[in-house]
Amino acid sequence: MSLASAQSATDVASPAKNRRTRVIAVLMALVGLFTIFVLGVGCAKGAHSILTFNPLNTSNPPWHLGQLTVATRWTNIVLGLAMIALAIEVFVREPRRAVMVRFGVVAVMFLLALLFWAARSPGPSPIDFVNVTSILVGASATTMVLVYGSLSGVMCERSGVVNIAIEGQFIAGAFLGSVLASTTGNFFYAAIAGAFAGGLIGLALAFFSLRYRSDQIIVGIVLVTMLGSLSSYLNLQVFTPYPNLNTGNLAPNLAIPLLDKIPIVGPLFFNQTGFFYLMIVLVAVVSFALFKTRYGLHVRAVGEHPRAAATVGIDVIKVRYRNVVLGGAIAGIGGAAFMAAQGQFVVGYTSGYGYIALAALIFGRWRPSGAVVASIIFGLSVYLSYNLVTYNVPISIYFLEMFPYLITIAVVAGLIGRVRPPAADGRPYVRD
Amino acid sequence: MSDAAAPPRRSLWARYSTASPIVVAALALFLGLVFGALIIATTNAAVLDAWRAIFHSWGGLPHALNVTFNNVGAAYRDIFTGSVVDPQGFWHSLTTGKGWPNTLTPLSETLTYATPLVIVSIGVGVAFQAGLFNIGANGQAVIGGILGAVIGSMLHMPTILHLPLTLLGGIVGGMFCGALPGLLKAYTGAHEVIVTLMFNYVTYAFLLYAVLSTPFQQPGQENDIGRTMDRSAILAPLFGTKSGLRVSYGIFVAAAVVVFAWWLLDRSSLGFDFRVTGANPTAARASGISARSVIVTVFLISGGLAGLAGVVQVASTTHYVDGGFLIGNAGIGFTAITVALLGRNRPMGIVWASLLFAALGVGGRNMQASTGIPLDLATVIQSVIVLFVATPVLVKEIFRLKEAPTTGIHLSTTGWGA
């Protein structure tokens, strides 16, 4: 039944793939034109934007970079032209791969242009400079959470289980992580607690969807709803009377000697919390394990053709259990990382990051590397749209808040025709 | 194919035997309450203190058990008296003939809560029957509520025109919001789950924008409150404003929706197309049913009902929309998913499930007010119930039922994308 539905869905999606690529190209060109004429030509002639590079939080930076002053008008016109060039490239060449990445690049360039425009010097903004380093570092926190989430999705969906409960695993990981971080003061324990909590949710998902073959999306959504309410309940019942369980401290930055002194790159990659380094290690490990090891071969076989995998002696259910629990644990660490970046657990503050991570996974074609690229694009757009608020942009902040979600919809709707999920993704496996 | 479409009629006995979904639902309710009791017992300071005492002497055991049962019992008693009836008050009213409004308030509140829930859950249930997952019901209800409130507060005309126009506005708003995921699904293959989830966040942002911007914000207000609807646009209380009972003429709207859904699913050829598509897409395609038009129509109906629920919610309770309207993890659209599943996507099943969940929600408020146990417990219990309803085999194993319960809910949802 489910097989048939997938086929029919493919048939729905299959016609006019080329037309869709062209639609995206036209969309990109329109964004480019808007950038040129509204954000570029629309600026006063002498307007300029200042880019600074020194980190904001250290009073005595180890290095000092001069600020870069750019003419807002010309920068934005150049950015717009670059967008149009990309659009033309997509329209003419109709590249088989990475159309979405080009679209994402255009989206990020548009936000940058908006930022330059917002911070232009004879202008309405109270802040008249753009600190590139602090934007990159700020966006890296969002990106990190998304990477954890989409990596969790890769683990689960490569083995054929849809993990829509990433949001729930974030919540569980953040909650338990906060308790451990507050009681021990050590974020290493917070990470372990996060992994435990997330793994537990993964186990619940696996239990219902593998043992009882319940619909994976239903179980996932119900788990998210349940954890959302449970965390709110426990917040009132436990954190309110015992506030020392949720004291909130930011995870300390672990600077890597010397490397952290490199301008821009240093604060971005070498002066981060342990969660950031762990994320990089995990991406490498998961990529290697999935594509270079025997274990990964088994996982992918189970996700593509479970019956064939079972025929050669792979225990399908066991592989899926293991992957879903591991995936849950990864997302749980992501929740703890989010908590550690925010300072404490707050009810409802993951606000759909789990679902954006899911979209990043689709965008990244179920590959760890693709998920990282997608997470960077999504993370930048989420962070920039929140950041634009401080520049007094004449757009309501609520429309800016919609931006990441709209981008996600555009991504899922626009070019999904060419991405292919693991063949058995979301289908329960029935032993013969 | 007709087998798939029309379930065989069963005898009364078969309906209440252990194989029946009703029994499974009742057992799931029981398990949900047990789970809730466990949560109360393990997070309540008084209960934990009492249990800590048994580390000093075994004599504390009866006391600990006593405290546990008292606390859990008080919570569940408050849920019952807050949502159905308070036996003492009922007896008092019966013998003296006074205080009926007070006695009936819990029931009236439960009905008020259930009214929009029935409507939105039927919308979700219709989508489920066609094999589509509408998680965006919450956002659709928000947009419907906003549009209804705009028409109700910014246009002025007599009731006979105003009320229908307001309700229609809600339907149109919800339809618009539902059509987008439907069209995207039909023409680009975007998975409706992701798209509707994202639309929820878009609509929340739009709600905040709407209630904070000039034309719609309550004049003279700095806070996130929209304009109040005219008296001619609201769904008036059934027993008059003086009674203090909030249950409104909205229940007739809900009843009409139930009849409409029954007709649509059981009597119309459109509903037949929906169910065939949900049960077997290949067969549907082979028999000439257009997948695209089914998807779009289902989302129009589902979204329209969600929007109607949103406007009914506004017009029968607060009469204005504020920044917290239907928002939240336990928003009406998410409860609707659980209600539709518990009601097995059948109109009457959804009515009973809505009443149950409304009682839990309303009773939960009473529980929070009198015992301090947070209302969120009700949502947790609801989620547990649905987890068990979705896995009838597990219920069967726990209670060692002899007959195999009928299979759980099957959707034709698969992986993402194409």
The closest alpha carbon to A378, from A188, A153, A143, belongs to A143
Least confident of A262-266, A374-378, B23-27, B216-220: A262-266
Residue A61 is predicted with a pLDDT of 60
pLDDT digits (tens, 9 = 90+) for A161-203: 989 899 999 999 999 999 999 998 888 999 999 999 999 999 9
A427 to chain B, closest Cα gap in Å: 6
Tell me the Ramachandran region of residue A58: left when phi exceeds 0, alpha when psi lies from -120 to 50, beta otherwise: beta
pLDDT at B351: 94
Q: Is A430 an interface residue toward B (CB < 8 Å)?
A: no
Element (H, E) at A396: none
Q: Is A85 part of the contact surface with chain B (CB cutoff 8 Å)?
A: no
> Are A256 and A270 spatial neighbours (Cβ–Cβ below 8 Å)?
yes
CA-nearest residue to A212 within chain B is B391
Q: How is chain B split among helix, strand and coil, in percent rounded to 5?
A: 70, 0, 25
Q: Decide: B417 and A420 in contact? Cβ < 8 Å.
A: yes
CA distance A34 to A80: 8
What does chain B come to in residues?
418
Mutate to test the interface with B, among A208, A235, A398 (most CBs of B within 10 A): A398
Q: What element of type H or E holds B157? A: none
**A219: closest chain B residue by CA:** B387
Going by pLDDT thresholds of 50, 70 and 90, the confidence category of residue A380 is confident
Q: What is the ipTM of this complex?
A: 0.87
Closest CA to A354 of A91, A109, A217, A164: A164
Rg (CA), chain A: 23
Handedness of CA A394, A398, A402, A403 (dihedral sign): positive
Taking contacts as CB-CB distances below 8 angstroms, the residues of chain B near A237 are: 43-44, 373-374
Q: Specify the number of domains making up chain B.
A: 1
CA-wise closest residue to B128 among B259, B274, B270: B274
Q: Is the CB of B416 less than 8 angstroms away from the CB of A219?
A: no
Work out the number of other CB atoms within 10 angstroms of the CB of residue B402: 8
Three-state helix/strand/coil letters over A182-240: HHHCCHHHHHHHHHHHHHHHHHHHHHHHHHCCCCHHHHHHHHHHHHHHHHHHHHHHHHC
CB atoms within 10 A of CB A360: 30
Distances (CA, A) of B194 to A170, A308, A367, B415: 18, 30, 19, 11
In angstroms, the CA B346 to CA B339 distance is 10
- As separate numbers, helices (DSSP H) first and strands (DSSP E) second, chain B gives 18, 0
Has residue A4 got a pLDDT over 60? no
Helix, strand, or coil (residue B297): helix
pLDDT in tens, A97-146: 667 778 778 888 888 888 888 877 777 677 777 788 888 888 898 999 99
Strand partners, A69: A50
Residues 6+ apart with CB under 8 A from B249: B235, B236, B238, B316
Q: What angle do CA B137, B142, B147 make, to 5 degrees?
A: 125
- Measured in angstroms, the CA of B412 and the nearest CA of chain A are apart by 5
pLDDT in tens, B173-230: 999 999 999 998 888 777 888 888 888 888 988 888 888 887 888 888 778 888 888 8
- What is the separation of C-alpha A58 from the centre of its chain, rounded to a whole number of angstroms? 27
State the amino acid at position A8 in one-letter form: S
A170, A231 Cβ separation under 8 angstroms: no
If you measure CA to CA, which chain B residue comes closest to A239?
B43
**What does the pLDDT read at residue B25?**
85
- Optimal mutation site among B202, B211, B212, B332, interface A, most CBs of chain A within 10 A: B202
- Please identify, in words, the CATH class of the domain defined by A133-396: mainly alpha
Closest CA to A86 of A70, A100, A76: A100
Q: How close, in Å, is residue B203 to chain A by CA atoms?
A: 8
Task: Please name which of A252, A257, A256 lies closest in space to residue A273, comparing C-alpha atoms.
Answer: A252
Q: Mean of the per-residue pLDDT values for chain A?
A: 82
Beta-bridge partner residues of B226: B217
- Whether residue A412 lies within 8 A of chain B, CB to CB, comes out as yes
> Which of A185, A193, A174, A192 minimizes the C-alpha distance to A244?
A185
Hey, of B49, B134, B191, which one would you mutate to test binding to chain A, going by the most A CBs within 10 A of its CB? B191
What single-letter amino acid sits at B166? Answer: T
Q: Per the CB < 8 Å rule, is A12 touching B292?
A: yes
Separation CA A91–CA A20 (nearest Å): 10
As a whole number, mean pLDDT of residues A56-64 equals: 60
**How deeply is B270 buried, as exposed, middle or buried, from its count of CB atoms within 10 A (0-12, 13-18, 19+)?**
middle
- pLDDT for the residue numbered A18: 66
**pLDDT tens digits along A321-332:** 999 999 999 999
Q: Which two tokens stand for residue B123?
A: 């919308």
Chain B contact present for A401, CB below 8 A:
yes
CATH 1.10.3470 domain extents, chain A = 133-396
Q: Does A155 have pLDDT greater than 50?
A: yes
The answer to whether A203 contacts chain B (CB < 8 Å) is: no
Tell if the CB–CB gap between B415 and A237 is shorter than 8 Å.
no
Helices (H), A305-364: 306-311, 316-342, 353-363
A7 interface with B at CB cutoff 8 Å: yes
Q: Count CB-CB contacts under 10 A for residue B43.
A: 18
Q: Lowest-pLDDT range, A12-16, A94-98, A103-107, A224-228?
A: A12-16
Q: What gap in Å lies between CA A289 and CA A276, rounded to an integer?
A: 20
Q: Tokens representing B136?
A: 């965006």
Quickly state the pLDDT bin for A7 (edges 50, 70, 90): very low
Separation CA B159–CA B247 (nearest Å) = 19
Residues 322-381 of A with CB under 8 A from B: 348, 351-352, 355, 358-359, 362
Inter-chain contact B391–A222, Cβ cutoff 8 Å?
no
Distance from CA of A64 to the nearest CA of B (A): 40
Is A157 touching B (CB cutoff 8 A)?
yes
Could you list the residue range(s) of the whole structural domain that residue B342 is in?
A: 112-353
Interface size between A and B, measured as CB pairs under 8 A: 220
pLDDT value at position A416?
45
Residues of chain B with pLDDT under 50: 1-6, 408, 412-413, 415, 417-418
Question: Is A5's CB within 8 Å of B281's CB?
Answer: yes
Flag if A229 and B418 touch (Cβ within 8 Å): no
The answer to whether A258 faces chain B, any CB pair under 8 Å, is: no
- How far apart (Å, rounded) are the C-alpha atoms in residues A232 and A351? 14
pLDDT of amino acid B271: 87
